[in-house]
A and B are shown apart, each in its own frame.
Chain A
Amino acid sequence: MTAPLLETRNLSKQFIVGSRFSSLGLRVVHAVDNVSLKIMPGETVGLVGESGCGKSTLGRCITRLYDITAGELYFEGVDISDKSMRQMRPLRRRMQMVFQDPYASLNPRRRVRDLIAEPLRVHLNLGETEVRERVRKLLEVVGLSPDHMERFPHEFSGGQRQRIGIARAIALEPSLIVADEPVSALDVSVQAQIVNLLADLQERLSLTYVFIAHDLSVVRQISTRIAVMYLGSIVELGLARDIFARPSHPYTQALISAVPQPDLKRAGERKRIILTGDVPSPIDPPQGCRFHPRCIYATDKCRKERPILLPLPNGRTVACHYPLNGTV
């Protein structure tokens, strides 16, 4: 068996909010709570869940943009949980991020040439001609033309800007790319282009992706495995095609059933579960199973005992006392 490219062991991230002087005092937000996840080389792991479930925070912990509060984090076999920013620097070449908003993540005062050259200049000791040549190649790889080099970000459409963001991310030939909602800000017709580009690049450069998105059909398309998160924890983990065909956690089932689909022929067959209420606050999460206040199958056991992630016979890992098909 190959070693995982990245592994988290009981990783937690807490934020302190509020003020000592407010009536509520300082409060702790458990944004990511005890997440253990192995990411194998060459695969794409999709992180899904509602807003506030901790998927973006987990993505930022993985790349150490955030310091982690507890737990361990291994990248290419090395423990990077406590590495300082300086010690992280050489590793940053190997792990890169692509962000949601291509309008906000590119410096508007710099030309595309410099934007893409920046990581090369920071990390590699190359001559200017070599840098230029690489930038030209990168632009081609992401489907832009070399004429675009001298332009500024505002001269591009959203899709093209996201291509520039991707070019920056792959410039140093990383092994891991964490993409946080890379297509959510784009029009539907352009979304498909970027999803295809990411899939092509993965094959060409043998990349590993962590793909964070709230759009379930996009995540299903690009992911090998999917981790469903709820209130900071993973509640279900398994192969993308299995999870969508037969969800085991009631939350996954409700989430998938809520997605409106343009398929009129099958509209009658689909059963819709409408969850009531909102996601509870991660400051004061419910006792027992964190999903129980919104779960249609909840029992007394769910209200008292918090289920742990356990493997099912079908290869899935689920945190539920009563998984939907097969028993623990």
Chain B
Amino acid sequence: MLEVKDLRISFRTEHGRVRAVDGVSFDVAQSEILGVVGESGSGKTISLMAVMGLINDPNAVIEGSIKLRGRELIGLSQRQMRGLRGREIAMIFQDPMTAMTPVYTIGWQIAEQIRAHEKIGRRAAFARAVDLLAEVNIPNPKEAIHRYPHQLSGGMRQRAVIAMALSCHPALLIADEPTTALDVTVQAQILDLIRKLRRDHKSAVVFITHDMGVIAEMADRVMVMYSGRIVERGTKAEILLEPRHPYTKALLDSIPPLEGEKPKRLRSIPGSPPSLFDLPKGCSFAPRCPWRFERCAEKPALEGGKHAAACFLKAAS
């Protein structure tokens, strides 16, 4: 469905060129959920903004290839992208309030989106909006379409945004931390909903999160990003049960358990993620890695077939 090859994104700034994404390749198939994990600044959001064609900064340089159903997206005009967005690819964001305009009712906003892509009457579009709100389990959808975003709770708002994203049955849904701002009880409802949509519409989903627990629930395959590169990728079981990259391992170890004995101290990763202005020459994780050795002064490639890790450790041992 989606095929990204050697994506590189950099920004020209007054302090020189900053490379936010450095050679990222991945693909997603129909009805598949790809989980993308990483900390702030790892490049996970910006990579998928590029897929959406939402990087409008004139100082951004995007190289590589992004293919959706075989069609190259890099180099498409804003106008051509606008035709695709919503119909073929849709994105939901962390904060549903910023994804909607506060001055129109949610029914109006969903109907507008449908009418932008299809030749359909106003009344028919509103009827579709009611059906969509019902599909995402908003109680009383006939009344709900007349509400404004601020009249809904966070969970309901995120549902409305999902309904909007689904209005034209997109082939690919990109979800950027859609539950981070929500309470766990509401998060469980939204995760359930996204799983159901994948089942019913066979959409491909890219799910961006920093929460390994959410990955365990949602993803089929996972890629772990660190300072603009993929450091490990594999199936969910491979990543969670047999992580190969020290960063993945450390990330999993630093989560306090919810059951069993409490560890006296949490295993933490020393230091903080490097600044993109001043990346280490070799492996970006090396300064924080307990297993670093001489070879880490070079940049490791992502190797190892389906379950791949960008680390020299495996080769050395």
* Residue positions of A touching B, CB distance < 8 A: 50-51, 157-160, 187-193, 195-196, 199, 214, 216-218, 220-221, 240-241, 244-245, 254-256, 258-267, 272, 274-279
Decide yes or no whether B269 CB sits under 8 A from chain A. yes
In the bound complex, do residue B216 and residue A263 qualify as a contact, i.e. CB atoms below 8 Å apart? yes
In the bound complex, do residue A196 and residue B241 qualify as a contact, i.e. CB atoms below 8 Å apart? no
Contacts of B189 in A (CB 8 A): 274-276
Given A192-B267, A267-B216, residue A244 in contact with residue B258 (CB < 8 A): yes
In the bound complex, do residue B254 and residue A217 qualify as a contact, i.e. CB atoms below 8 Å apart? no
* Additional 5 contacts, C-beta under 8 A, given A188-B212, A192-B268, A274-B188: A50-B183, A259-B258, A263-B259, A274-B189, A278-B153
Given A50-B185, A274-B192, residue A244 in contact with residue B259 (CB < 8 A): yes
When each residue 149-176 of chain B gets 1 if its CB lies under 8 Å from chain A and 0 otherwise, what string results?
0000111100000000000000000000
Given A50-B185, A259-B213, A260-B216, residue A187 in contact with residue B40 (CB < 8 A): yes
Decide yes or no whether B211 CB sits under 8 A from chain A. yes
Given A261-B258, A278-B156, residue A255 in contact with residue B185 (CB < 8 A): yes
Contacting A at CB under 8 A, from B215-233, are 215-217
In the bound complex, do residue B216 and residue A261 qualify as a contact, i.e. CB atoms below 8 Å apart? yes
8 A–B contacts, CB within 8 A, in A order: A160-B272, A187-B40, A191-B268, A217-B258, A254-B185, A260-B216, A261-B216, A263-B259
Q: How far is the CA of A247 from the CA of B154 in the complex (A)?
A: 27
CB nearest to A190 among chain B residues: B272
Contacts of A262 in B (CB 8 A): 212-213, 215-216, 240, 252, 255
In the bound complex, do residue B188 and residue A272 qualify as a contact, i.e. CB atoms below 8 Å apart? yes
User: Which of B155, B236, B270, B272 is A264 in contact with, Cβ under 8 Å?
Assistant: B236
* Residue positions of B touching A, CB distance < 8 A: 39-40, 139, 153-156, 183-189, 191-192, 210-217, 236-237, 240-241, 250-252, 254-259, 262-263, 265-270, 272-273
Q: How far is the CA of A266 from the CA of B265 in the complex (A)?
A: 23
Q: How far is the CA of A60 from the CA of B215 in the complex (A)?
A: 35
Contacts of A255 in B (CB 8 A): 184-185
Q: How far is the CA of A250 from the CA of B278 in the complex (A)?
A: 50
Listed residue (B211, B212, B272) with the most chain A CB atoms within 10 angstroms of its CB: B272
Contacts of A188 in B (CB 8 A): 39, 210-212, 251, 254-255
Q: How far is the CA of A245 from the CA of B258 in the complex (A)?
A: 9
Contacts of B184 in A (CB 8 A): 50, 214, 216, 255, 258-259
Query: Which 10 A-B residue pairs are closest in the complex by CB-CB distance?
Result: A260-B213, A192-B268, A221-B256, A262-B212, A192-B254, A189-B269, A192-B266, A187-B39, A50-B183, A258-B188
